[in-house]
Amino acid sequence: MLDDLLVVGFDLDTQSEVHIGDRPLEQWRALGYGRRETVVCFYCWRGIDAPAGTKVPLLARGRIGGLVRPHFAHPAGTAPPGGHGRETVWHINAKHRLARWARTRPNVMQVRMEQWTEDRDRRADVHVVLDDGARLALEAQRELITDELWQARHRDYAAAGVRDVWFMRPDTRVPHVLFAESIPAWTLYHREGEAEARLGEPHARGPRWWTKDLRMFGLHHPPCPGDPVVRERFPLTELGLDPDGVTFPPAMNERLAEQAARVQRDASEARHQHEQAERRREAAPRQPRYRYEPAPLPPRPAAVPAGTPVCEVCHRPLAEPLVRYGRHILC
């Protein structure tokens, strides 16, 4: 079954989740189906798609150089109909993949799965301690999360001094509340072993753009809410960890640095041109302001004999054809 490639084991002796890559195949075979049978299906044992406590010893399959990578599998006829729920399978495997990846980073001192914060408000999927003492919570999110729920989790982690880093399941929309809080979000692809980042496209440059945050005028990570995004995918093994979360490979860092330097040069040139224009305007002779001069009043008309029809506007005599209108044509 294809789903068997995603099966996670549970070691009854250590009472912990185990993954096929944690030990050589021969050791797992000695603990699995037909042998000691102490390595069972994690999902069945925990009551996922089967009654809780269902003991299904696993087979360790695969060989060096084979077409199919090593994996745990249910013995024939013991898997639930249709396999285990893919979202649940993705979440559990994602935790193991993130934990194994974190352990390979040179600056990581400790990695624990399902670790509670000190105040026991939150339990991280994968808790990481770096060599400088910084603590990270790697969260594998299998479904869309509401803004309120995410903000509550984020605040609790921040209060505990933990930086939360979010890895979304493929085809799950990244909530823009993360970007509003300047928190990057990654998409984790289990089969390919890759992670995808979203970067915001450069913002349009308006008047006096050089006085704003220059990072917004190049590719920026994370994007701003509502930004058009550029998707960049990297092998998980090329990414690193630091106190702020996930770090890009060196080549990507160089690319972003080159863009940032170009934006900085453009901003310096725009600022210089603006300052020169200001100096030229200040140095130019000032033109006298226009002074309003009212138009001279028309001369007072000469005395008009009594009974002569006059214009109601200018009070000058009216010709006979204009008497009916009471004013001159230009009035």
Q: Which structure tokens are listed for 258?
A: 């080159």
Q: Residues with Cβ < 8 Å from 273, sequence gap 6 or more? A: none
Q: What is the mean pLDDT of residues 167-187?
A: 89
Residue, of 173 and 87, whose pLDDT is higher? 173
Q: Please, which pLDDT band fits residue 17 given cuts at 50, 70 and 90?
A: confident
Please state which of the ranges 238-242, 255-259, 288-292, 297-301 shows the lowest mean pLDDT: 297-301
Q: What would the pLDDT profile of 58-92 be if each residue is shown by its tens digit?
A: 998 887 666 677 888 899 888 887 777 666 777 88
Mean pLDDT of 113-140: 89
pLDDT of residue 255: 94
What per-residue confidence (pLDDT) applies to 1?
35
Single-letter amino acid code for the residue at 191: R
Q: Where are the alpha helices (DSSP H) in the chain?
A: 25-31, 42-45, 86-103, 147-159, 177-180, 250-283
Give residue 160's identity as a one-letter amino acid code: A
Burial class (CB in 10 A: 0-12, 13-18, 19+), 55: middle
Position with higher pLDDT, 193 vs 208: 208
| C-alpha–C-alpha distance, residues 84 and 94, integer Å | 15
Averaged pLDDT score across all residues of the chain: 86
What pLDDT, in 10s, does the model give residues 206-221? Answer: 999 999 999 999 999 9
Residue of 145, 201, 137 lying closest to 177 (CA atoms):
145
Residue 158's pLDDT band, with cuts at 50, 70 and 90, is very high
Alpha-helix runs per DSSP H in 104-238: 147-159, 177-180
For residues 71 and 91, what is the distance between their CA atoms, to the nearest angstrom? Answer: 17
Strands 185-189 and 194-200: antiparallel
Nearest to 140 by CA among 8, 232, 267, 259: 8
Cβ atoms of 140 and 91 closer than 8 Å: yes
Structure-block tokens of residue 96: 């193991």
Q: Is 73 exposed, middle or buried (0-12, 13-18, 19+ CB in 10 A)?
A: buried
The pLDDT of residue 64: 67
Query: Residue 301: is the preceding peptide bond cis (ω within 30°)?
Result: no
β-partners of residue 187 are 168, 196
Could you tell me the maximum CA-CA distance found in the chain, to the nearest angstrom? 137
Its pTM stands at 0.66
Where in the chain does DSSP place strands (E)? 9-11, 16-18, 39-41, 59-61, 71-73, 108-116, 123-130, 135-141, 162-168, 185-189, 194-200, 229-235, 240-242, 245-247
Three-class secondary structure of residue 198 per DSSP: strand
pLDDT grade for 191, boundaries at 50, 70 and 90: low
Residue 148 has pLDDT above 50, yes or no: yes
For residue 164, count other CB atoms closer than 10 A to its CB. 21
Tokens of 170: 């493929």
